[in-house]
Amino acid sequence: MVEHAAEVLGVLPPDEVPGALRPFARFDRRKRAKLAGPKIAAVLERDGGFRERVAEALRGVQPELVAAVQEGHAPPAADPVEVAGLAYLLRPPGWTRAVHTARTELERRAALTVEQEAERAVAALRAELAAEKAVRTGEVARLRAELRAVKDENAELRRKVHDARTRMKAARADAEHAGRQVPGAELDAAREAAAALEKELRRTRARAERAEAAAEATRRAAREGRNVDDMRLRMLVDTLVDAAQGVRRELALPSTIGRPADAVAAQEPAVGRAVPDGDPHLLDRLVALPQVHLVIDGYNVTKSGYGELPLADQRSRLLSGLGGLAAQTRAEVTCVFDGAELDAPVPAFAPRGVRVRFSAAGTTADELIGELVRAEPPGRPVVVVSTDGEVAAAARRAGARPVPSALLLRRLGRS
């Protein structure tokens, strides 16, 4: 609605522009929607004439949908957001029911998306675990075959050494019995043969010991790998379950799925609304979600709250407040600073529970924040604190929830 109203605002004659919106009429359309969004929403709520002008503009673009909404029966394939916006602008009889129906449909889609993502993630992990088990099994079988071959070779060498010793003892016994000694050359040859066999036996024993150690290491690695895979799978499943429950609580989803007959009632239920970004309790609700990861655009927050301080003091003040927030909420907290702002590497003394990262040379803090968000498994709740429009849009596309820096500053001020 704000975007449509911002577009209409640019083509209205100056004398028909509401007084509260005249300073923004000369702005570019995107700039009007971004900077004057709250004022446009307030004027739409209280100014019926302006609301009617916006609806007339939409009637020229989507005449069939506007006519259907005005008559009280929207097409089933229509976008619920468009239907709710048109119902709000046109205000036909029973328009609040259309808004409530659109909200219910969006909540149903959100719940289905979470379940589908969880099923896909679990299936992918199971396939990865099966492939890893197959590789481990093949490696263990190969090492066992090598160990058997080395043991057989070791047994053959032991037999040869035993035969050589037996022959040498027999020769000595015969020589002593005959009252003469074995010739020196023959005795030296026997000793050299025995020494060579002893040396070969030691080498074979060393190879056998290495093979046994490798087999044992492989078996241990297979057990540890299986345990790690099981833990990863269990952690992801727990995260998905906690995230689904958190989404249900945040969206106030009912415990049971509604039925078409539930919409037929003598009295209309109250119309719920999504929590706006400016709600002072939004951040408190998000950090209370299970397994939540709070990613903070450091300099964006500090320059919004106390930009007059030197950069080192800004970082110290923010990290001190984040340490208290992490201790209170037990959320995973990562604070990202732009490395280009530093003249030289500086020590970062992060408080307990807070991870501090500086962007590397050639990259920005915005890019590092995007990498952190994309590194999280699907289904885990991730909150990005920044007033930068590009950072917020990228976070939303990656599945994270953007939050304005002012809410974090207000939360830290309360602490």
* 182 in the same domain as 234: yes
* 145 in the same domain as 85: no
Q: Which domain holds residue 145?
A: 113-250
* Residue-wise DSSP of 343-369: SS-----PPTTEEEEEPPTT--HHHHH
Residues with Cβ within 8 Å of residue 345, at least 6 apart in sequence:
none
The SS3 of residue 215 is helix
Residue 324 is assigned to a structural domain of this protein: yes
- Quick one: pLDDT at residue 158? 81
* 56 in the same domain as 17: yes
Structural domain ending residue among the three candidates 250, 270, 304: 250
- Quick one: pLDDT at residue 117? 75
* 155 in the same domain as 60: no
- Quick one: pLDDT at residue 265? 43
* Residue pointed to by tokens 């522009």: 17
Residue 366 is assigned to a structural domain of this protein: yes
Residue 142 is assigned to a structural domain of this protein: yes
- Quick one: pLDDT at residue 266? 42
How many domains does the chain contain in total? 3
State the Cα angle at 346 between 343 and 349, rounded to 5°: 150
* 89 in the same domain as 181: no
Q: What is the CA radius of gyration of the chain?
A: 37
Instruction: Average pLDDT across each block of 10 residues of the chain; the chain has 415 residues. List them in order.
Output: 74 74 72 74 78 76 74 72 78 78 78 75 83 86 86 83 81 70 63 78 81 78 68 75 74 56 42 56 89 94 92 93 92 90 63 91 90 90 94 92 93 83
Question: What φ, ψ does residue 384 adopt, rounded to 5°?
Answer: -110, 120
Residue 304 is assigned to a structural domain of this protein: yes
Q: Which residues pair with 337 in a beta bridge?
A: 358
Residues with Cβ within 8 Å of residue 244, at least 6 apart in sequence:
111, 114, 115, 118, 379
Identify the DSSP state of 400: -
By residue count, the chain amounts to 415
* 246 in the same domain as 117: yes
Considering the entire predicted model, what is its pTM?
0.38
CATH number of the domain within which 406 lies: 3.40.50
* 288 in the same domain as 234: no
Residue 276 is assigned to a structural domain of this protein: no
* 243 in the same domain as 155: yes
- Quick one: pLDDT at residue 387? 93
- Quick one: pLDDT at residue 273? 35
- Quick one: pLDDT at residue 262? 46
